Amino acid sequence: MPAVSKPPAKNLRPAEPKAAAPSSSKAMKETAAAAAVVAERERRRLQMADIARLAGVSVSTVSRALSGSTLVNAETRQRVVELARSLNYTINQGAQNLRMQKNRTIAVVVPYDSTSRQHISDPFFLAIVGSIADALTDRGYEMLLSRVDSEKLDSAGASYDAGRVIGVIIIGQWRHHDQLNEMAARHVPLVVWGAEMPQQLYCTVGGDNHDGGYQATRHLIKGGRKRILFLGDPQLPEVRWRHQGYLDALKEAGIKFDRQWLLDVPFEEAAARRRLDEAYRDGLSFDGVVACSDLLALQAVRAVRATGRRVPGDVSITGYDDAPLAAWSDPPLTTVHQPVDEAGRRIVEALLAQVEGEPPRSRTMPVNLVVRKSTVG
């Protein structure tokens, strides 16, 4: 009989070798490589610090000089370059390229203050961040949003130092004016939403806080109120100016300020409510409230009503910011309007001007009182 041939095998392929488990020697090499990278970064950081010390300038000036920035004068730039060459220092081209035209990212930082616990979802934060985002988008820039501990505001410059962003915007000064000055002294392009302060090196854009406090207080006085509480913490720069406007309006009307009328609460609703309840239990008599935010004002409304009093019949209340919720509250809230839409544009313009080499220029914008039904008059 003829031989019968076997049908060809189907889908047969050489068996793939099993992946070998990584050897301990390979792991050791990877660890050594990572350690070498860390060591190189530390060596470069120390070298840059050495150059800065020898040249008598800051580390950020060294960084700018080595990247050829015109923000550093030609003589200093040449001195830094020669010192770098003598130390065999080479420019980190990757970080330098990031800061050139290809990088169009701006850091927007919302500080977190542990004493106030003001959350990023606060209506004013959302409004100002949204305004900045719109202004950046209109100009073709991207936004890197982050939150930092207000005790460590200087860490907000880390993304700039690493070359990830070309400038930094911070929403609020909190209590750390000195840290912001230090960032500005390092020539970090920086704009802060806040109040202009004495001996300020950095750029601020903000509403006229003194006039806002003055307008709100004067409105209450014109409505017949004479025992007016101030609800806010004057240790914060913006609130300090609002409080001064409040004091000036009282003085102008011949009303002597009573220290009991200052309830120095943080931007935190529960704390404000506790202080107001305590004030009532202690027998404090008042017929008006100047609150430093709309959320604080709404807590004042609830505290007053909880005692059976009427708003505005017995107590008139003003807020600050004119957040959207102010118009829809019960009663609709009289409040100081901050020009948030314009603020976003001004902040971005001020920052981009610094990126282009212009000196910081602060701007204070006018505010106006929007009168609604939480006040008489």
Higher per-residue confidence, 9 vs 263: 263
CB atoms within 10 A of CB 133: 18
pLDDT band at 24 (very low <50, low <70, confident <90, very high): low
Quick one: 354 exposed, middle or buried, by C-beta within 10 A (0-12, 13-18, 19+)? buried
| Percent of the chain surpassing pLDDT 90 | 51
In the prediction, which pLDDT does 79 show?
84
**Which tens digit of pLDDT belongs to each residue from 310-343?**
999 999 999 999 998 999 999 999 999 999 989 9
**Would you say 80 and 62 are in contact if contact means Cβ atoms under 8 Å apart?**
yes
Structural domains of the chain in order of their starting residue, each with its CATH number: 37-91 (1.10.260.40), 105-206+341-365 (3.40.50.2300), 209-338 (3.40.50.2300)
**Would you say 20 and 61 are in contact if contact means Cβ atoms under 8 Å apart?**
no
Mean pLDDT of 41-58: 74
- For residues 70 and 67, give the distance between their C-alpha atoms in angstroms, rounded to a whole number: 9
> Which alpha helices (H) appear in 199-311, and where do they start and end?
209-222, 237-252, 269-281, 294-306
Query: Which neighbouring-strand residues pair with 106?
Result: 143
> Under DSSP, is residue 193 helix (H, G, I), strand (E, B) or coil?
strand
Structural element, H or E, at residue 67: none
- For residues 319 and 312, give the distance between their C-alpha atoms in angstroms, rounded to a whole number: 13
Please state the pTM of the whole predicted model.
0.72
Q: What letter does residue 285 receive in the DSSP assignment?
A: -
From residue 114, alpha-carbon distances to 31, 118, 138, 233 in Å are: 38, 8, 34, 14
> Under DSSP, is residue 231 helix (H, G, I), strand (E, B) or coil?
strand
pLDDT band at 37 (very low <50, low <70, confident <90, very high): very low
Q: Among 65-69, 122-126, 141-145, 262-266, which is the least confidently predicted range? A: 65-69
**Which tens digit of pLDDT belongs to each residue from 204-220?**
999 999 999 999 999 99
Q: Is 183's pLDDT higher than 80? A: yes
Q: Pick from 39, 161, 44: which is nearest to 91 by CA? A: 44
**CB < 8 Å & 24+ apart, contacts of 274-277:** 275/231, 276/231, 276/300, 276/303, 276/304, 277/303, 277/306
End-to-end Cα spacing for the chain = 119
- The contacts of residue 143 (CB under 8 Å, 6+ apart) are 105, 106, 108, 132, 133, 136
Cis peptide before 266 (omega within 30 of 0): no
What is the chain's alpha carbon radius of gyration, rounded to the nearest angstrom?
29
